[in-house]
């Protein structure tokens, strides 16, 4: 058989379609009836893997020697491969593939060579095991015959709709599940009588200790009442690039809030949940629960939830151990009617007293009494407490059963759920029929067996009974345990239930088998956003085996980091700690290279990948704190590493280098050829996320190169790819962020505002820390462009608060430079000049990370009529600002340079610069750079237009330019002046008297405004605060400690009567304190 195919077609029961993935990229999906799209795709490929409802196939198109190409299906089990002829492309449908998968699988299970079965005779394919297992978790357990009526507890449960949470907390065997099942039956009866009731049930088990699986199961439970609920949330849960749980739950809650009837969600056995992320997400759900949804938790121990708060607010009702104990009347009904015993009232009373009404204790007593003649002796010795359950199970129950039944109970106790086929596989019994009879016999004998479906195919043992059986098995026959788990793992593997297979393989300590399964299945889990569970399983492997599968381990850690990269700081910190522990284990293996037997080349690859993982962790910290110097050092180090054979690893060094060049150097044009190569490589490897990320990089680099149209094209193509692939990624927010810059440069403010709206939605969905800051910056930028100064101020205040809250210093210059432009728009030259004095730029060195501040500083000089100084500074740094690879920056520079030259009297040089500006901007349609430069640039354009020939070549003594483009710009200037709510602010500086007053406000005025005057040092600190400097930068500038700065800021806030920076800036601005 040829090599494994690149394309994978997988049936999704949740979505009711086949999902096509290529590598890690979800390409498209096919509904069973969508023959046209299916045939179109099939004609473009020559092989694919098929994971259908009825089985798995590898499908290949093979060329015949006589000509023509025909499709064949292969199915491999162990070392045997079976082959089926499918025919030409037109005959290969998804229905045909399902049929052939069923035939091949049936033939293999029967041990014979498969033979074709006519479609009419083919039996209906049973549901996938995963569907069956899920349905058993969503089904309310069947009630036992002769159920003891408990109306007092049913009345308590009938008040569920009055509370957010109903907590049923009691020890094992207290009747929690039976009570809830009885209440469900009572609700169903009342619904038949006209009372509406919607109950969603989910039985939890240890495998649900993974957030994606837990919440997917919850959504499946809710769908039993609301079939269409949670589609988008489910997609996000299983997305390779998944947002935080709280964001996914917000989507689900937004749907649930529209439900117009009461609904109850019952989570049974919640005590099995230990994952902190699940507890935190359930708290989020409770805090935002719609009035129509009510949660019921059944648990042995109190969950990690804010129960005290819920009690105080009367949002919770509780049913505890004491409530669940049988009364004497209920005990009599249970023993005499349900268990069929003939006991005196005195005996019933004694048993009630000894067991304290504990249901499991009473059932154990009843089972023992059935087999005894000496009732008095038994009752005298019976305690009925939890402590002696194991002894009673061993001595009074197991010992009295037939030996085959004892073996069956002990061996199947390793299973959380079971059917006849699974029991037969685990026990190596005589057949499924015998196992089915065993299960039915156990149910009839009241031996703590709970049927999970109406057809009596799936069962589980009561947890208390199962624990006793497992303890007995481990004590009496420990040598059997690994083999039992191995057989269970093999059975689950054959059914395609890899999660259960891996868990049983781990329980069997069959670590080579665990590693084999993970090597084969890890990619599926990664693509479903479940890198965390693969990480958890890998941690179970001994060091020697983990090292042998180092590539798998490191690939998992990389995907784990990528998933957590845009999450909250707490989640990322936990993930980082997990990755660090894994790296420590792997590094220990490096020291044992001779023992492991790996080659030097393989060891070098592993060491390189570990360094790249650490670099990825370092980069996140450096970017957040805007540490350009160390980013550059990190980029130099990773660039020296040899290229990896997998694009996902090369993306780490690419991302570091990209970030340094884009952020610090701004030379996006130099990146374009290399980025196009990386994009091609990522596309060929079918890496969806890498492809989209590189398209974003291409768009950002294109903007820096001044290529707006190319940037827009890359963003739109990336967004289309995301949509067509039915994918989800946080990168989408940055694509809208990039599109904003394109539309703003074109003066398409409506489109730019739409991009901000999209960015806002994605920021809320993904709960990213930086996107809300970007949103406020761009909102302020649009508001300033529209002359909405109050709107700009509001957005800036929010941005300033977010930067302080998130400690995201990288975005501080963005906000501070816009704040200065806001001052200039207000004609508040005092604050602007104070900032300019503090932000003075030395002429001996250029700092590329402060280029935006420098250009705003020039705007302040122009506003203060310091034209000569502005020209001098622009010319001094011209080689850094007017660079071919930084076309976007060069255009902004030229806009200010034209104004400075014109205002300083150098009209001809201004005209030359204007013509060059026009030449750079016309091909890409720049507009906003002219409007932001102000009316002086309009005057220059009018002069140019008036001196240009009206016919023939549009040339002047300063060079050629497009007359039509200049005319269009002048028309837009006129439109802007008419549209603005007030005249466009003049760049004329204030009068000498005004400038003096604003620059040197008398101390007496300040003292009159403040209850306590600011000291000279506090005034210095306040200047820097207003300028947008961080505490660390203030401490460095003033040569004081960080604690001193914090103390002085606290004193300033107290004197101003404020509590945060944004409020302080507002007070300073209104009162003109500086």
Convert the pLDDT of each residue in 193-227 to its tens digit.
Answer: 555 558 999 999 888 988 889 999 999 999 988 88
Q: What is the DSSP letter of 809?
A: G
Q: Residue 999: which pLDDT band, with cuts at 50, 70 and 90?
A: very low
Our measurement of the distance from residue 486's CA atom to the centroid of its chain's CA atoms, rounded to an integer in Å, reads 34
**Which three-class secondary structure state does DSSP give residue 318?**
strand
Q: Which residue has the higher pLDDT, 726 or 834?
A: 834
**Does residue 764 register a pLDDT over 70?**
yes
Q: What is the pLDDT of residues 96-137, one digit of tens each?
A: 888 788 777 765 544 433 333 333 332 323 333 355 567 788
Handedness of CA 807, 808, 812, 815 (dihedral sign): negative
Element holding 296 (H helix, E strand)? strand 293-299
CA–CA distance, 570 with 561 (Å, rounded to integer): 13
CA–CA distance, 103 with 109 (Å, rounded to integer): 10
CA–CA distance, 521 with 99 (Å, rounded to integer): 24
**Which three-class secondary structure state does DSSP give residue 71?**
strand
Q: Which distant-in-sequence residues (6+ apart) come within 8 Å of 888 by Cβ? A: 668, 703, 704, 705, 706, 745
Structural contact between residues 899 and 934, judged by C-beta atoms closer than 8 angstroms:
yes
Please give the pLDDT value at position 909: 94
Q: Which distant-in-sequence residues (6+ apart) come within 8 Å of 580 by Cβ? A: 617
Q: Kindly state the average pLDDT of the residues 318-334.
A: 86
Q: Residue 48 pairs with which residues in a beta bridge?
A: 59
Q: Residue 392: which pLDDT band, with cuts at 50, 70 and 90?
A: low
What b/e string do you get for 248-273 counting C-beta neighbours within 10 Å, with b at 16 or more?
Answer: bbbbbbebbeebeeebbbbbbbbbbb
What b/e string do you get for 660-698 counting C-beta neighbours within 10 Å, with b at 16 or more?
Answer: bbbbbbbbbbebbeebeebbebbbebbbbbbbbbbbbbb
* Minimum mean pLDDT range among 35-44, 72-81, 187-196, 934-943: 187-196
What b/e string do you get for 903-936 counting C-beta neighbours within 10 Å, with b at 16 or more?
Answer: bbebeebbbbbbbbbbebbbebebbbbbbbbbbb
Q: H helices of 481-568, where?
A: 481-494, 498-507, 511-527, 531-539, 543-548, 550-564
Structure tokens at 1042: 């960080």
Helix axes 600-624, 550-564, angle to 10 degrees: 10
Q: Residue 728: which pLDDT band, with cuts at 50, 70 and 90?
A: confident
Q: Three-state secondary structure along 85-122? A: EEECHHHCCHHHHHHHHHHHHHHHHHCCCCCCCCHHHC
Structure tokens at 513: 């088998």
Query: Which burial class, exposed, middle or buried, applies to 889 when counting CB atoms under 10 A from its CB (0-12, 13-18, 19+)?
Result: buried
Please give the pLDDT value at position 370: 66
Q: Kindly state the average pLDDT of the residues 866-882.
A: 91
**Does residue 1053 register a pLDDT over 90?**
no
CA–CA distance, 315 with 111 (Å, rounded to integer): 59
828-979: CATH number? 1.25.40
Mean pLDDT of the chain: 82
1001-1071: CATH number? 1.10.10.10
Instruction: Answer whether CATH 1.10.10 is correct for domain 401-509.
Output: yes
Q: Which residue has the higher pLDDT, 616 or 624?
A: 616
Q: What is the pLDDT of residues 446-480, one digit of tens each?
A: 677 878 876 678 888 887 788 888 888 998 899 99
Other residues' Cβ atoms within 10 Å of the Cβ of residue 497: 19
Q: Kindly state the average pLDDT of the residues 643-672.
A: 84
Q: Which distant-in-sequence residues (6+ apart) come within 8 Å of 778 by Cβ? A: 737, 740, 744, 752, 755, 756, 759
Q: Which residue has the higher pLDDT, 991 or 966?
A: 966
CA–CA distance, 347 with 341 (Å, rounded to integer): 11
Domain ranges (residues) in the chain = 7-126, 132-324, 327-385, 401-509, 513-598, 666-766, 769-826, 828-979, 1001-1071
**Does residue 1072 register a pLDDT over 70?**
no
Please give the pLDDT value at position 703: 94
What b/e string do you get for 418-451 counting C-beta neighbours within 10 Å, with b at 16 or more?
Answer: bbbbbbbbbbebeeeeebbebbeebbeebbbbbb
Q: Kindly state the average pLDDT of the residues 283-296.
A: 93
Whether the domain at 401-509 and the domain at 1001-1071 fall into the same CATH topology: yes
Tell me the residue ranges of DSSP E strands in 780-842: none
In the Cβ-directed half-sphere of 41, how many Cα atoms lie within 13 Å? 20
Q: What is the pLDDT of residues 75-88, one digit of tens each?
A: 876 556 777 778 78
* Minimum mean pLDDT range among 332-336, 536-540, 567-571: 567-571
pLDDT > 90 fraction of the chain, expressed in percent and rounded: 33
Q: Kindly state the average pLDDT of the residues 358-375.
A: 71
Topology of the domain covering 666-766: 1.25.40
Instruction: Answer whether CATH 3.40.50.300 is correct for domain 132-324.
Output: yes
Q: Which residue has the higher pLDDT, 935 or 240?
A: 935
**Does residue 387 register a pLDDT over 60?**
no
Q: Is 113 left (phi over 0), alpha (psi -120 to 50) or beta?
A: beta
Name, of 63-67, 662-666, 716-720, 992-996, the range with top average pLDDT. Answer: 716-720
Structural contact between residues 830 and 991, judged by C-beta atoms closer than 8 angstroms:
no
β-strands 165-169, 293-299: how paired?
A: parallel
Q: What is the pLDDT of residues 563-601, one digit of tens each?
A: 787 667 778 888 899 999 999 998 887 776 656 667 888
* Minimum mean pLDDT range among 210-224, 373-387, 815-829: 373-387
**Which three-class secondary structure state does DSSP give residue 845?**
coil
Q: Which residue has the higher pLDDT, 267 or 372?
A: 267
Structural contact between residues 367 and 394, judged by C-beta atoms closer than 8 angstroms:
no
Please give the pLDDT value at position 572: 83
Please give the pLDDT value at position 484: 95
Structure tokens at 556: 């998992």
Q: What is the pLDDT of residues 403-421, one digit of tens each?
A: 888 889 999 999 999 999 9
Structural contact between residues 335 and 366, judged by C-beta atoms closer than 8 angstroms:
yes
**Does residue 388 register a pLDDT over 80?**
no
**Does residue 66 register a pLDDT over 80?**
no
């Amino acid at each position: 058989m040829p090599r494994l195919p690149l394309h994978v077609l997988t049936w999704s029961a949740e979505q009711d379609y086949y999902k096509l993935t290529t590598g890690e990229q979800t390409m498209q999906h096919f509904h069973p009836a969508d023959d046209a799209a299916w045939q179109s795709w099939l004609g473009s490929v020559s092989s694919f893997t098929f994971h259908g409802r009825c089985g798995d196939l590898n499908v290949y198109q093979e060329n015949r020697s006589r000509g023509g190409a025909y499709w064949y299906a292969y199915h491999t089990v162990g070392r045997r491969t079976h082959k089926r002829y499918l025919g030409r492309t037109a005959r290969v449908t998804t229905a045909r593939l399902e049929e052939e998968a069923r035939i091949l699988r049936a033939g293999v299970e029967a041990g014979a060579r498969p033979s074709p079965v006519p479609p009419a005779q083919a039996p209906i394919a049973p549901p996938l095991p995963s569907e069956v297992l899920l349905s058993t978790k969503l089904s309310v357990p069947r009630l036992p015959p002769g159920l003891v009526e408990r109306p007092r507890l049913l009345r308590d449960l009938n008040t569920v709709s009055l509370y957010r949470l109903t907590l049923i907390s009691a020890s094992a065997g207290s009747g929690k599940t039976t009570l809830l099942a009885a209440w469900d039956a009572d609700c169903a009866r009342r619904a038949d009588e006209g009372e509406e009731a919607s109950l969603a049930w989910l039985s939890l088990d240890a495998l649900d200790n993974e957030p994606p699986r837990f919440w997917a199961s919850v959504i499946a439970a809710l769908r039993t009442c609301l079939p269409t609920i949670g589609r988008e949330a489910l997609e996000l849960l299983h997305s390779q690039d998944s947002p935080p749980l709280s964001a996914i739950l917000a989507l689900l809650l937004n749907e649930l809030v529209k439900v117009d009837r009461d609904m109850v969600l019952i989570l049974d056995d919640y005590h099995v949940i230990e994952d902190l992320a699940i507890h935190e997400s359930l708290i989020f759900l409770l805090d935002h629960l719609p009035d129509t949804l009510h949660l019921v938790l059944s648990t042995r121990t109190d969950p990690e939830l804010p129960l005290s708060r819920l009690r105080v607010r009367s949002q919770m009702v509780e049913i505890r151990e004491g409530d669940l104990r049988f009364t004497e009347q209920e005990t009599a009904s249970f023993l005499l009617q349900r268990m069929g015993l003939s006991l005196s009232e005195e005996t019933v009373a004694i048993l009630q007293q000894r067991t304290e009404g504990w249901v499991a204790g009473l059932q154990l007593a009843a089972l023992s009494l059935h087999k005894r003649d000496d009732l008095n002796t038994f009752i005298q010795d019976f305690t009925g407490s939890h402590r002696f359950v194991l002894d009673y199970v061993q001595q009074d129950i197991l010992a009295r059963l037939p030996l085959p039944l004892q073996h069956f109970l002990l061996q199947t106790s390793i299973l959380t759920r079971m059917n006849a086929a699974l029991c037969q596989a685990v026990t190596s019994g005589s057949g499924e029929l015998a196992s089915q009879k065993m299960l039915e016999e156990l149910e009839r004998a009241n031996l703590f067996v709970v049927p999970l479906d109406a057809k009596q195919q799936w069962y589980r043992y009561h947890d208390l009974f199962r624990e006793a059986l497992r303890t007995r098995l481990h004590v009496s026959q420990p040598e059997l345990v690994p083999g039992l788990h191995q057989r269970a793992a093999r059975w689950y593997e054959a059914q395609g239930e890899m999660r259960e297979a891996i868990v049983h393989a781990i329980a069997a300590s069959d670590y080579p088998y665990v590693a084999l399964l993970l090597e084969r299945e890890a990619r599926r889990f990664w693509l479903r956003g479940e890198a965390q569970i693969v990480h958890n399983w890998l941690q179970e492997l001994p060091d020697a085996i983990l090292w042998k599968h180092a590539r798998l381990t490191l690939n998992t850690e990389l995907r784990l980091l990528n998933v957590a990269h845009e999450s909250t700081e707490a989640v990322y910190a936990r993930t980082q700690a997990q990755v660090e522990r894994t790296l420590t284990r792997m590094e220990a293996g490096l020291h044992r290279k001779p023992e492991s037997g790996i080659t030097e080349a393989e060891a070098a690859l592993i060491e390189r990948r570990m360094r790249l993982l650490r670099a990825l962790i370092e980069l996140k910290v450096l970017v957040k704190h805007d540490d350009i110097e160390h980013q550059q050092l990190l980029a130099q180090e990773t660039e020296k590493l040899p290229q990896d054979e997998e694009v996902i690893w090369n993306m780490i060094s690419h991302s570091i280098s990209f970030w340094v060049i884009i952020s610090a150097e701004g030379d996006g044009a130099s990146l374009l050829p290399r980025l196009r190569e990386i994009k091609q490589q990522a596309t060929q490897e079918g890496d969806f996320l890498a492809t989209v990320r590189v398209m974003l990089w291409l768009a950002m680099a294109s903007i820096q190169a001044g290529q707006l149209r190319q940037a827009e094209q890359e963003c739109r193509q990336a967004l289309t790819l995301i949509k067509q692939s039915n994918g989800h990624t946080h990168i989408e927010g940055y694509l809208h962020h990039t599109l904003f810059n394109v539309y703003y440069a074109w003066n398409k403010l409506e489109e730019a505002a739409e991009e901000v709206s999209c960015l806002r939605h994605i920021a809320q969905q993904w709960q990213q820390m930086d996107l809300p800051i970007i949103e406020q910056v761009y909102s302020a930028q649009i508001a300033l462009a529209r002359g909405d100064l109050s709107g700009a101020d509001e957005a800036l205040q929010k941005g300033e608060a977010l930067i302080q809250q998130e400690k995201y210093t990288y975005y501080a210059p963005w906000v501070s430079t816009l704040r200065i432009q806001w001052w200039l728009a207000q004609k508040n030259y005092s604050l602007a000049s104070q900032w300019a004095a503090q932000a003075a730029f030395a002429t001996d060195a250029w700092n590329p990370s402060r280029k935006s501040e420098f250009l705003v500083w020039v705007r302040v000089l122009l506003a203060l009529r310091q034209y000569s100084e502005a020209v001098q500074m622009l010319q001094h740094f011209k080689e850094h600002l007017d660079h071919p690879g930084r076309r976007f920056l060069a255009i902004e520079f030229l806009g200010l340079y034209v104004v400075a030259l014109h205002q300083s009297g150098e009209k001809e040089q201004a005209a030359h610069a204007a013509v060059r500006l026009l030449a750079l901007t016309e091909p890409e349609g720049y507009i906003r750079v002219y409007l932001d430069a102000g009316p002086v640039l309009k005057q220059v354009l009018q002069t140019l237009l008036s001196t240009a020939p009206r016919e023939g070549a549009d040339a002047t003594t300063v060079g050629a330019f497009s007359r039509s483009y200049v005319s269009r710009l002048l028309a837009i200037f006129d439109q802007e002046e008419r549209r603005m709510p007030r005249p466009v602010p003049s760049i004329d500086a204030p009068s000498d008297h005004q400038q003096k007053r604003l620059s040197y406000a008398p101390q007496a005025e300040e003292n009159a405004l403040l209850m306590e005057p600011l000291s000279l040092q506090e005034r210095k600190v306040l200047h820097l605060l207003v300028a947008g400097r961080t505490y660390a930068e203030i401490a460095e500038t003033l040569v004081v400690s960080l604690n001193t700065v914090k103390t002085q800021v606290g004193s300033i806030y107290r004197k101003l009567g404020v509590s945060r920076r944004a409020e302080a800036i507002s007070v300073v601005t209104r009162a003109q304190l500086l």
